[in-house]
A and B are shown apart, each in its own frame.
Chain A
């Protein structure tokens, strides 16, 4: 079922965790299975200099998260935007057909993080990226609704910590 590289990516994922003071955050949810992926980027001179993920999902979701961070690291914004789901799947040596949707989630997360960075810095946003953002935003709302109590619990915990 899973390739060796997918399993290796899953058992030893790269670049996971929160990134302090990120320049862009992409938060996406998969309406098919309920997986959630958060991606953080740091951008210096139009290049992704650091990238991290947090994923609630299966082996494929975590492996593709790890893979996209590796593929995007060090790339320019334009090059990072050209990373396709096919590229991630190919890089992993394939995914089971039922898990292909997980690779979409990874691409969405990266694009959202870049969208967030461009918006925050009042930079021009490609039309395609805006269109995608609108679609992802819709899906995210559906998924976020499911985990409302979890995210609220987290917000409470964070605010308690800050007190």
Chain B
């Protein structure tokens, strides 16, 4: 995406809202502003469009409309999944997550641990991948839930959630997946993947901020964390954010999603689709940087990674410096270095992959998207090595 000649490579943080989505949302601010709970025509109009939106999104997940609960964010959905399940199923007291989950899953799980739950945080390999066998051996008779993300937000590694889903089904354990980074990029089929609960968010897929969902399979017992007027079948009280939900649905509608046949995450078979274009750009950038910059490594899995994710680590330099120098040259990217975090702690994801804090210090995430062009990639290939060199000249290590 070009804005005053700027290059945006932080699509994993948030995406611009697709102009088609903006247009679809437009009538719902002033002309059709009703509250879905109202009995009059304004309310009916709002309810109808929310129902329609819910259907579009449910179809994309191969779910039933009754199983989709709108929330305000992926963070809320993940909180609701973990806490809501725990409160509704007090007989079981064991929860399994991976060490590379988003903070909102990890801290929700840690909070439940403080309330007396037993928590297992599964280790990952050097690519940030969870081993299905580890999930299997961690499950006990007391296990309520396994929560493993579909793909990682920092390093892009795609988890073997089909295998994990099957294990959970065979063992009679609930399986939740945080698909915030994948819904809209990778095919998702809640049935074939044996998913009981799933989190997705609009603003990671060219929809607006403020709209997200929790899919809850029919029959799964869950309790609300927000109490009030009983919206969303009593699970999520709050006036529905109609314009954002309409935008969410439109963002889904315009997706060129690969067919479910490519479900096994063999991304190379996803030809003809937007992913194919992104994978080409991604791999061009990865190859170019690994070739032209000394002392750089790729974080995350070389193949089983999100089509739009690149994450490097540069030795001897620090990530915040890389980001700010790139920003001064009009390029927006992201880092997980200790210096860039409010707690001055390096990324838990990179540490979980076995990196030492000093290696995590020089991490750089570039995430591509719908408006990333080959010209932009070529420009990065020219600028990034210069930025790294400039910072290394200032570094005592070389």
CB closest chain-B residue, reference A101? B344
A62 part of interface (Cβ distance < 8 Å): yes
Give the size range of B's interface with the partner. Answer: 20 to 34
Task: Please report the C-alpha to C-alpha distance between residue A111 and residue B361 in the assembled complex, in whole angstroms.
Answer: 26
By beta carbon, the residue of chain A nearest B391 is A62
Chain A residues whose CB sits within 8 angstroms of the CB of B317 once the complex forms? 56
Q: Is B340 an interface residue (CB 8 A)?
A: yes
Known: A13-B394, A56-B395, A150-B316. A34 touches B358 (CB 8 A): yes
Q: Does A83 contact B (CB under 8 A)?
A: no
- Report chain A residues within 8 Å CB of B316: 56, 150
Interface members, chain B 344-398 (any A CB < 8 Å)? 344, 356-358, 361, 393-398
Are A57 and B339 in touch, CB under 8 angstroms?
Answer: yes
Does chain A have a CB within 8 A of B116? Answer: no
B1 at the interface (CB under 8 A from A): no
Q: Would you call A10 and B339 a contact (CB within 8 A)? A: no
Query: Considering the complex, which residues of chain B in the window 234-278 have a beta carbon less than 8 Å from any beta carbon of chain A?
Result: none
Tell me if A11 counts as interface (CB < 8 A to partner B): yes
CB of A32 within 8 Å of the partner chain: yes
Q: In the complex, are the beta carbons of A16 and B358 less than 8 A apart?
A: no
Tally A residues with Cβ within 8 Å of B: 34
Most buried by A among B321, B340, B356: B321
- Do residues B315 and A150 form an inter-chain contact, with CB atoms below 8 A? yes
- Distance (whole angstroms) from the CB of B343 to the closest CB of chain A: 9
Q: Is the CB of A36 within 8 A of B396?
A: yes
Say whether A34 contacts B325, CB under 8 Å: no
A98-B358 contact given A33-B339, A57-B339, CB 8 Å threshold: no
Residue of B nearest to A151 (CB): B397
Are A146 and B328 within 8 A (Cβ)? no
Q: B321 touching A10 by the CB < 8 A rule? A: yes
Q: Which residue of B lies closest to A55 (CB)?
A: B394
Assess whether A93 is interfacial by the CB under 8 Å rule.
Answer: no
CB distance from A129 to the nearest CB of B (A): 22
Question: In the complex the two chains form, what is the Cα distance from A60 to B344 in whole Å?
Answer: 13
For residue B345, which residue of chain A has the nearest CB? A33
A54 at the interface (CB under 8 A from B): yes
Residues of B within 8 A of A147 (CB): 358, 397
Complexed CA–CA distance, A20 and B356 (Å): 32
Considering the complex, which residues of chain A in the window 29-83 have a beta carbon less than 8 Å from any beta carbon of chain B?
A: 32-38, 53-62, 65
| Chain B residues positioned under 8 Å from A137 (CB to CB) | none
Asked if residues A38 and B394 are in contact (CB atoms below 8 Å), the reply is no
* 10 further interface pairs, Cβ-Cβ under 8 Å (given A33-B338, A35-B339, A154-B398): A2-B324, A16-B394, A34-B338, A36-B396, A37-B396, A54-B396, A56-B316, A58-B320, A147-B397, A153-B397
**7 residue pairs, one from A and one from B, having the closest CB atoms:** A58-B339, A54-B396, A58-B320, A38-B396, A150-B397, A56-B395, A16-B394
